[in-house]
Amino acid sequence: MTDKTYYIYLLTNWNNKVMYVGVTNDLQRRNIEHKEKCVKGFTEKYNIHKLVYYEQTSDIEAALNREKEIKKWRREKKDRLVENANPHWRDLSEDFS
């Protein structure tokens, strides 16, 4: 049995006005899908592909629960989460090699 890793991630657009929360088991692949607009819907419509925050866990249930928890938060609380980990709202996907 292999250990899986799941990621809870926050994306935003170029000016950090619109935010998206998601879960994936492959953060790099999923971010490319968002950047190339392979994901139809909200992120495609609002050009959301800047990765500004993520967490990881080996527990899919914990990941899904955390995603739901963050989605319920007011925007100000989501902003604080990002700012504590990534104060300059840098695109963290630039670190992928």
Query: Which sequence spans correspond to the domains of the chain?
Result: 6-95
Q: Is the pLDDT at 53 greater than 90, yes or no?
A: yes
State pLDDT tens for residues 22-31. Answer: 999 999 999 9
Is residue 24 within 8 Å of 51, Cβ to Cβ? no
Confidence of residue 69 (pLDDT cuts 50, 70, 90): very high
Instruction: Kindly state the DSSP code that residue 35 receives in the 8-state scheme.
Output: H
Report whether CATH 3.30.70.2740 matches the domain 6-95. no
Model's pTM, two decimal places?
0.93
Question: What's the chain's average pLDDT?
Answer: 94
Q: Is the pLDDT at 1 greater than 60, yes or no?
A: no
pLDDT at 3: 82
